[in-house]
């Protein structure tokens, strides 16, 4: 490279949250939360119950106003974007509690939210009904069952599959394995590892720190509505389990 040639620029992260403040009504819940999700990486949001993990996700999705700070998607300001617009940009959500449509079949739940991949899909294979059923064979066996007839683990698989049918560039999971049996939790972690290996960007919360250390590239820890620490898995292992950093069991 000659002196006259410009240096190659770093690619913009998919999602950048900077010094976010928000809350509910007049009650402030987040005071200073910053995080970055680079393309192709997995980031965990950790902390005890009630520290602001779900609130951070709600603000990212546009369900809560941003009082101060910024939320950007590929460098573009998201604050004036409605929640449905953020989803169309490529942000897929698996909400806490799964929230599948109870009176729709598995097949209807999956096709109801299907979106064709956008131009900026980064070369990833499109998610189709067949691909989702290949990832979760249990859903193939239950495709004619209604949402309310599924077990908790099957509902979580359906919630993930429904989000994948939007062909997201970023998959957000709030409490990825909450309330599931150990066997079903392992199936979910295996599916997320497969998605991670394919290069899908992921932001998630969960209480299983060991699994997060294995799956994720980077971690952000919240305390009382503030991001108090961030680093990679090696750094998180190095600091050990201290009282002020350990998420609740």
Q: What is the DSSP letter of 6?
A: P
User: pLDDT tens, 122-148?
Assistant: 556 889 999 999 999 999 999 999 999
User: pLDDT tens, 93-102?
Assistant: 999 988 999 9
Q: How confident is the model at residue 115 (pLDDT cuts 50, 70, 90)?
A: confident
User: Mean pLDDT across the stretch 206-218?
Assistant: 94
* Within a domain: 3: no
Q: Rounded to whole angstroms, what are the CA distances from 227 to 50, 151, 167?
A: 13, 35, 29
Q: How confident is the model at residue 60 (pLDDT cuts 50, 70, 90)?
A: very high
- With 60 as the cut, is the pLDDT of residue 7 above it? no
User: pLDDT tens, 140-182?
Assistant: 999 999 999 999 999 999 999 999 999 999 999 999 999 899 9
Task: Report the CATH number at residue 42.
Answer: 3.40.50.300
User: Mean pLDDT across the stretch 195-214?
Assistant: 94
* Within a domain: 159: yes
- With 90 as the cut, is the pLDDT of residue 12 above it? no
- Poorest-pLDDT segment among 72-86, 140-154, 204-218, 234-248: 234-248
* Within a domain: 118: yes
DSSP string, 101-138: -TTSBHHHHHHHT--PPPTT-TTPPPP-HHHHHHH-HH
42 strand-pairing partners: 202
Higher pLDDT, 57 or 241: 57
- With 80 as the cut, is the pLDDT of residue 46 above it? yes
pLDDT at residue number 168: 95
**What whole-number percentage of the chain has pLDDT above 90?**
78
Whose tokens are 């859903």? That residue is: 139
* Within a domain: 4: no
| Domain tally, the chain | 1
Cβ–Cβ under 8 Å, residues 184 and 160? no
Pairing of strands 15-24, 68-73: antiparallel
Q: How far apart are CA 243 and CA 227, in angstroms?
A: 16
* Within a domain: 9: no
* Within a domain: 152: yes
Q: How confident is the model at residue 5 (pLDDT cuts 50, 70, 90)?
A: low
Rounded-to-5 percentages of helix, strand, coil across the chain = 35, 25, 45
Q: How far apart are CA 136 and CA 88, in angstroms?
A: 24
Q: How does 49-83 read in b/e, with b if 16+ C-beta sit within 10 Å?
A: eebbbbbbbbbbbbebebeebebbbbeeebeebee
Per the structure block, which two tokens stand in for 151?
A: 């077990």
Q: How confident is the model at residue 116 (pLDDT cuts 50, 70, 90)?
A: confident
Q: What is the DSSP letter of 224?
A: T
pLDDT at residue number 248: 44
The whole-model pTM stands at 0.88
* Within a domain: 157: yes
- With 60 as the cut, is the pLDDT of residue 245 above it? no
> For all residues of the chain together, what is the average pLDDT?
89
Per the structure block, which two tokens stand in for 35?
A: 């995080």
Residue numbers of the domain that contains 93: 15-239
* Within a domain: 245: no
């Amino acid at each position: 490279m000659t002196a006259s040639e410009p240096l190659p620029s770093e690619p913009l992260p998919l999602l950048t949250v900077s010094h976010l403040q928000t809350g509910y009504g007049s009650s402030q819940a987040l005071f200073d939360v910053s995080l970055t999700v680079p393309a192709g990486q997995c980031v965990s949001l950790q902390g005890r119950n009630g520290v602001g993990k779900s609130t951070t996700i709600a603000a990212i999705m546009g369900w809560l106003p941003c009082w101060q700070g910024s939320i950007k998607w590929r460098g573009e300001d998201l604050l004036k974007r409605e929640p449905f617009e953020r989803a169309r940009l490529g942000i897929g959500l698996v909400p806490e509690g799964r929230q599948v449509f109870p009176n729709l079949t598995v097949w209807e739940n999956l096709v109801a939210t299907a979106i064709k991949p956008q131009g900026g899909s980064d070369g990833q294979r499109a998610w189709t009904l067949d691909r989702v059923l290949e990832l979760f064979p249990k859903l193939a066996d239950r495709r004619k069952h209604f949402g309310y007839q599924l077990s908790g683990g099957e509902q979580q698989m359906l919630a993930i599959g429904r989000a994948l049918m939007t062909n997201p560039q970023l998959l957000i999971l709030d409490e990825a394995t909450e309330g599931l049996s150990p066997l079903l939790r392992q199936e979910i972690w295996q599916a997320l590892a497969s998605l991670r290996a394919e290069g899908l960007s992921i932001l998630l919360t969960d209480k299983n720190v060991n699994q997060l250390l294995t799956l994720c590239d980077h971690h952000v820890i919240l305390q009382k509505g503030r991001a108090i620490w961030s680093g990679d898995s090696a750094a998180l292992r190095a600091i050990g389990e201290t009282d002020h950093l350990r998420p609740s069991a």
